[in-house]
Amino acid sequence: MAPMRLGSLTLSSNLFLSPLAGYTNLPFRLTVRELGGLGLATTDLVNARSLLEKKAKALKLIETAPGDQPLAVQLFGSVPEEMRDAAQMVETLGMAAVDINMGCPVRKVCQVGGGSAMMTQLQRTARLVQGMVQAVRIPVTAKMRLGWDEANLTAPDLARALEDAGVAAVFVHGRTRAQGFGGRVNLAGIRAVVEAVRRIPVIGNGDVTTPEAARRMLEETGCAGVSIGRGAFYNPWIFQHTARYLATGEVPPEPGFEERVRVMCRHLDRMVEVFGEEQGCRMFRKIAPWYAKRFGPASEFNRRVVLLSSRLQFDEILTAYRQWRAQFLDENGELKPRFRPLPLTPSFMHEAGTVAGQALPVPKGPVERW
């Protein structure tokens, strides 16, 4: 794996987990990290003021564990003093880095000058960021989109201004705020940001669903690293596979059914540990079907898992599902060819942003459009 520097930090790889609010929590991060290949993960966005006020919800969002390192906390807010003090708090708590959300399109966040609105006020944003950089020793990074809309592609200018303000790196999702998740990621737009900065690494983001798409992002934009969100949720093995592919040119074989079940169970166990059995199981109702997307026929599993309410019940669902799934297996216990999911190979995924020939789904969450 290619190590990478982020300010004073050395990361084991140039592959990053993008925050997906509601999904990239501690259980998911631990699950992905255990599979290997990930350089740095970031928490869901956290309201700086709520963190300073030590609101239970904000503290839960930054919950971490020894195996969950290195970890960046992503802050959002628009009051310079609050952002500065929250960054100091993040540092005091022992986090590896602090990231600033400049991409969130949600009106509630933008109206108060946070999220995507930060991309429209370069000088003000640069001053706020400088205040944070000067207050901490850990790297401060920023995550942005290409701009507010097509007519205002401010990311190159903003990235340059933030470099002068002292950020250690910028993450760029290659779409505008107005675009939401529509259309394709704009690699030329990311390239313009890479060309605008002098020293700091730019990390490209958007629609990376395969190791090949990650390489294309690196090659066509010249970015120093790749950040993966939905593609990791769909396929938690993507970091391990991409790291191997970038190093050797070979994509490891897809994990089989038993390995997927093993990892899914680890994920659920951690959900129960971190959120308690009732809430953890309830949250897992919308996570388990993502694993099942690669199980082959899974209607029987999905039908029952939406009612999940205890760990024991999950084992019962799995046992019943295995029995039902047996009808699709051959004498070697493999899915008969016509029931196999389409392979995650480039021929089915030649378009970035698709998985097995279909558009990459956007997981439902507290926000609809990022």
Ligand X SMILES: Cc1cc2nc3c(=O)[nH]c(=O)nc-3n(C[C@H](O)[C@H](O)[C@H](O)COP(=O)(O)O)c2cc1C
Segment 56 to 115, residues that bind ligand X, using CB under 6 A: 74, 101, 103
Q: Which two tokens stand for residue 324?
A: 């039902």
Scanning 198-350, the segments in alpha helix (DSSP H) are 211-221, 230-234, 238-248, 257-275, 277-284, 288-292, 299-305, 311-325
Rounded CA separation 338/340 (Å): 6
Please select the residue that binds ligand X; options are 14, 18, 210, 242, rule is CB under 6 A: 18
Q: Does 143 bind ligand X (CB under 6 A)?
A: yes
Structure letter (DSSP) for residue 154: -
CA nearest neighbour of 224 among 40, 30, 32, 27: 40
Q: One symbol per residue from 325 to 364: x for binding ligand X (CB under 6 A), - otherwise; what is it? A: -------------------------------------xx-
Using CB atoms, what's the residue nearest to ligand X? 229
Kindly write down the DSSP assignment for every residue of 245-261, as one continuous string: HHHHS-PPPPP-HHHHH
Residue that has been written with the tokens 């951690």 in this structure: 270
Please select the residue that binds ligand X; options are 85, 91, 207, 212, rule is CB under 6 A: 207
Stretch that binds ligand X, among 15-23, 83-91, 245-253, 343-351 (CB under 6 A): 15-23
Using DSSP's 3-state secondary structure scheme, residue 71 falls into: strand
Segment 229 to 288, residues that bind ligand X, using CB under 6 A: 229-231
Number of residues lying near ligand X (CB under 6 A): 24
Q: Least Å distance between CB 206 and ligand X? A: 5
Q: Least Å distance between CB 43 and ligand X? A: 8
Q: Least Å distance between CB 51 and ligand X? A: 14
Q: Which two tokens stand for residue 167?
A: 């950020």
Query: 302 vs 354, which CB is nearer to ligand X?
Result: 354
Rounded CA separation 181/272 (Å): 31
Query: 130 vs 205, which CB is nearer to ligand X?
Result: 205
104 has catalytic annotation: yes
Using DSSP's 3-state secondary structure scheme, residue 8 falls into: coil
Q: Does 178 bind ligand X (CB under 6 A)?
A: no
Using DSSP's 3-state secondary structure scheme, residue 138 falls into: coil
Q: Does 44 bind ligand X (CB under 6 A)?
A: yes
Catalytic-labelled residue, pool 104, 110, 223, 281: 104
108-117 burial: b if 16+ Cβ within 10 Å, else e: ebbeebbbbb
Residues that bind ligand X (CB under 6 A): 18-21, 44-45, 74, 101, 103, 143, 173, 205-208, 228-231, 362-363, 365, 367, 370
Q: Report, as residue numbers or ranges, the catalytic residues.
A: 104
